[in-house]
Structures are given as C-alpha cells and as structure tokens.
Structure 1
Amino acid sequence: MESKPRVNRYEFNDPFTGSYFYFTNDLARDLEKVLSNPTANRIFWNTGKGSFGFRCDDKNVVLRENEFCTLTALNYLEVPDNDQKIAAIAFNREFYCIRDHDHEVSCNGILFYGAQDFSVLKFPPADIVPFQKLTDLFMKEFQECDSLHGEMLVSLLKILIIRLTRIGRNQITAIQGDNQSIEIIRKYNLLVEENFRKWKQISEYSFILNISSKKLSELFRIAKLDPPLQTIHKRVILEAKRMLLFSLKSINEISDELGFEDASHFSKLFKKLTGKSPSKFRSQKN
C-alpha cells in the first residue's frame, strides 16, 4: 500500500496571552484543527493543480491553482472532504490583530475587514516561488521554538500579509499605481465595515475621509468598483444573510440590529438586492 505523504502541521499557543497560530500544508487532512478556533482569521491558498470548492456564508467559492482567499472570524465556512492540496493559516487577534496594526500591513479594506466583496485572488507567476519560500520559513521556524519563536512567527505573518495586500491592491487595475486613491478606497471600505449598522449615507463616511461625496463616488467610478452607496447596502445585506441563515433572530430583531427604524425599509432593501424577501430567503436556505 502506498504511504500517505507527510503532512506538516504547526501550532503555536500561548496560554498566558491566548495567542493562537496554526499552519498546515494540507487542509484536507487537518480541517478540524484549522477551523477549531472560532475567533481566528484564515488564509487559504491552492498549491495543487486542481480546483478546491467550499462554501463561505451564502456563496460557493472555488480556488484554482495558485489562487488564495482571506477569511475572517465573521465568515461561516462549510468545507467538504477534498484531496486537493490546500495550505492554510489560522491566527487570532491575540496573536496578531490586523485592525490594531493596520498601519503596519494596510490589509483591511483590501484583504480582510471591509473588502468590497469576497475575493479570490491569483498569485502572479513572479510571486509563486518567493511565496513558497516564505511558507518554507514558517515550517523551518517551528523547528527552532526558542524564546523568540512567537515574535518570529508574527514577523513572518506580517511579511505574508504585506505580500498578499500588494497583490490585492494590484487587482484594482483601473487605478493601479494611484496609491492615494487606493488608500481612500481602502479606508472607506474599512469605515463601512466598522459603521454600516449606524451609518447608511455616503456623506457620513466622506466627512470622516475629508472628501466630498461627489468626489468619492467619482473615484469609485474611475476605479470601476461598486458605487460607495452600493458598498454600504451590500455590507448590510451580507450581515442580514448571515443572521437569517445562522441565527434564530426574527426579521424585526435583525432589522433593529442593522440600524433600520422600520422593518419594512429593511425588507425593501433586502428584496431589491437579492430578489427575495428576508422570510423567503430564510425559508429557502436548505
């Protein structure tokens, strides 16, 4: 009988701080561990030749060769049995908080919280080998395990996130190279993530960004992205879908939690964006 290939699984836990980091080069054989921490952010990337499918919230996701995606603790994941070679990293905010350290890696609004939409991104050919070498460094570091082990893992994770963020920035091809505009878009997306429950108007966000609503809308149009108002609406509806699918809250409770004064306004927006009423969407979830 052919022996199974060795699976590299590496875990860092600090019981005093609650820090958690996990790396595997074979998600299929280590899925339970990768998904075990409900507060972890995750990165999946397809290192094999075929395709890998799974479900994220209400969407079917497919990762093809050399494609990756980033996931937060907010995402609900259903990952079927699959022999495809997928590498994965999981880490919680105690290990490295991407919100508190946004000034270091600038990934929020591009990769994680506040991204315009759930994205599957592809590694450019020139980045594949350097990225493989970086994952090798993660595995080598677990052979050291000295007093600097945790700090070294954090440093490697930061390098990884910065590399992925650069790839994500380059996906905004219409304004590629316009770093100032990309930064405004990134900050807007992050503000929406943080405030979509209470702020529903573009003007509330443009004020914080010190830019007119008209100029902000024009910037998104030039970048060939969803209009800013649609970005707000889509984030509201995404949260509504999560609560309809994965909670027992009533539609009125969901409406209140999402900042609507009247449940009918919520239902109208939901149907406009999804084509279904909230109650019909919930009843068809299976």
Structure 2
Amino acid sequence: MDYNLNTRLNGNVAMTTAFHENKALMQNKTLYKFIWVQEGTLAIEIDHVLMRLEKDEIISLTPLHHIDIKEVNGKYLSLVFNSNFYCIYGHDNEVSCNGFLFHGSSDIMRINLTPDQSKKLHSISDIFMDECVIKDNLQEEMLRIVLKRFIITCTRIARERFSISEEKEKSFDIVRQFYVLVDQHYKEKKQVQDYAELLYRSPKTISNLFAEYGLPTPLRIIHERVEAEAKRLLLYTNKSAKEISGILGFDDIAAFSRFFKKMTKESISEYRKREKQD
C-alpha cells in the first residue's frame, strides 16, 4: 500500500507500508511522521539511537529527526505530511499536538496502543485509503480532514497516558507551550526564567507543572533540546565544533565543550568519532 498526494501549493501527505523503500519520502526533510507497528517488530534508528518498536506501538517524529529503518520483521504503517498540507502550528487550536506529539527533542513520544485504540486508528487509516481512490476536487480537503482526525485521536491517546483530564487541559497547555518556546528559542534562551517570563508564570509554577505530569525538569528539557541539536549538527553536517558552538549560542568553544561533556559523558571529538564509525 502506497499513496502520496502533492498539492499545487507544495502540500504533501502520504500513507505507506513501505516507507523505508520510498526514497523520495525518506529524503524529504519537511515531513512530520507517524510510524505505527501493526504486526511483528521494527528496528529504527532515530538521530543515531536505535529503538525497537513492537506491535501496536506508535511514535511521532518531526522533520528535525533523522531516521534510518534498520530491520522490518512484520508490518508497519507510516502516515506523513508537511506543513504546507497541514500546519500543526497554525491549527494548534484544532489538534493541540504541537509541543506534545511533535517537538525537536530526542525524547520522542512513544505510545503503546490498547486493542480499542488500535481499532480506532485502523478505522481512520481505512477511511484515508478509501478516500485515496476518489479522484475529484474534494479529495485534498477530505484527506486533510482524515489526517486531522488521526492526529486528534493520537493526541487523545497520549493525553490518557498522562492522565490529562478536562480540568487539567489548561495547565497542560502551559507545558506544551513551554516545549514550543524551547524549540523556537533554545539557541539564545537557556534558563527556565527566560521561558517563565514568556509564559507569564513563575519558574516555580513551571517546575511544579512538569513534576505533576512526571516529566523531566524544565531546565532538563532546555538542555536536552540543545544537546539534540548539537548531536545533529555534529553527525549530519561538516561544521566544526567552534561553528556549532556559535550556532547554539554558547559564548565560546570551552563553554560548549563543558556542556556537551556534562550531558553525554563524552568529549565532542570522542562522540563524533564513535558515532561516525558505527
């Protein structure tokens, strides 16, 4: 099964059971991705970290994540789209997934589906494929509606995992906004106070919210976002450590080196050499 729609405005949406065999999709650096194992297991490397997914596990990835599917033992489904087809930032009031299902950290959302949840997503993906064969001027909008339904369903499932009730929605939105702001400003803002001011909250309030949902501390979130970008630049570009230091907003290479060693327990050169040898 392989379906791909490209719109006149460079929108792109695709559903496939063979994402790893589709070079155009694999090389497309603009795609948000859902990868759902439906049978057996899947070994996937995300930003050079190997992850093994089992039946009815689903992950959501941003265009920032570098992926390499290593081994397929069974069947998996990929639903991918770009911002020109559906902008999760511009439509955040509709799907509430930005900074939750999708953010730039390497700590990605990984969901274990119950049989009922799996059944719901199967039903939505079946509707998607049914719409793929209807070639008319309404197809694009229908696929956008079905995609939105898939995203909302995954958001609801993830909310259940964090026990986010209707009463807690507003407070959890602050957590989501924090992730979004970190993605936008991590290069120049590296303290919780910076983001607390943008959210009109105190650092203590922010910290208490993260603790309430069992998440890492806000400072850890900032540091992990910087670390993730540092690793991507080290592995997927030819930029020097000094250049990367400047890109990430460090005062000098020494400060960047200390930060990287603290986060990874390796020096910059050790990490780059080891990962590129693997």
Report the TM-score range of the alignment, normalised by the length of the smaller protein.
over 0.9
Candidates 2, 11, 14, aligned match of 1:9 = 2
2:172 counterpart residue number? 182
Amino acid at match of 1:25: T
2:213 & 2:78 partners in 1: Cα distance? 31
The yes-or-no answer on 1:40 pairing with 2:35 is: no
1:99 & 1:135 partners in 2: Cα distance? 23
2:225 counterpart residue number? 235
Secondary structure in structure 1 of the residue aligned to 2:74: coil
1:176 & 1:261 partners in 2: Cα distance? 43
Report if the CA contact (8 A) 1:44-1:89 is conserved. Answer: yes
Secondary structure in structure 1 of the residue aligned to 2:175: helix
Secondary structure in structure 1 of the residue aligned to 2:63: coil
Candidates 198, 201, 217, aligned match of 1:208 = 198
Report if the CA contact (8 A) 1:56-1:76 is conserved. Answer: yes
Moved more, 143-152 or 179-188: 179-188
Unaligned segments of structure 1, at least 5 residues: 1-7
2:106 & 2:62 partners in 1: Cα distance? 14
Secondary structure in structure 2 of the residue aligned to 1:23: strand
Secondary structure in structure 2 of the residue aligned to 1:86: strand
Question: How many percent of aligned residue pairs carry the same amino acid?
Answer: 35
Quote the RMSD (CA, aligned, Å).
1.7
Runs ≥4 in structure 1, deviation > 6 angstroms? none
Report if the CA contact (8 A) 1:58-1:241 is conserved. Answer: no
Candidates 253, 260, 263, aligned match of 2:253 = 263
- Give the superposition deviation at 1:265: 1.3
- Give the superposition deviation at 1:150: 0.4
Count residues with an aligned counterpart.
275
1:117 & 1:192 partners in 2: Cα distance? 14
Secondary structure in structure 2 of the residue aligned to 1:84: strand
Structure-2-length-normalised TM-score: 0.94
Higher strand proportion: 2
Deviations 1:151-173 (Å, cap 9, x if unpaired)?
00101101100111112222224
Deviations 1:178-234 (Å, cap 9, x if unpaired)?
222211111111111111011111111111111100111122122221110111001
1:130 & 1:137 partners in 2: Cα distance? 11
Secondary structure in structure 2 of the residue aligned to 1:190: helix
Deviations 1:95-136 (Å, cap 9, x if unpaired)?
111122222211011111256821221112221212111100
Structure-1-length-normalised TM-score: 0.91
